[in-house]
Amino acid sequence: MVVYTGGTTISINYLKKWGYIKPIPPREKLKEMYQEKKATLMRETAELKLQQDKLKKTSENMIRGYRKHAGKPDK
């Protein structure tokens, strides 16, 4: 059997009052923060994909140049 005494609520309010924990932002602010973070991650993912593609092309060009220099045929 669990008895609710309100101790958690009192403790949280005390910790918020003294600045040990931050209060939870309102629901609308949480949604806004989520959308901003999602947009940032999507942008970073797209940039990473472009960098990976560029690195792959550079790698392929280097291998092709090495094979040409070494007199080996391309695969």
Q: Could you please report the per-residue DSSP string of 42-74?
A: HHHHHHHHHHHHHHHHHHHHHHHHHHHHHTPPP
Segment 14-44, tens digit of pLDDT: 999 999 999 889 999 999 999 999 999 999 9
Residue 15 CB partners (closer than 8 Å, separation 6+): 21
How remote is the C-alpha of 21 from its chain's centroid? 24
pLDDT of 74 reads: 60
Which pLDDT band, with edges at 50, 70 and 90, does 73 fall under? low
Residue 5 has pLDDT above 80, yes or no: no
Domain locations in the chain as residue ranges = 25-75
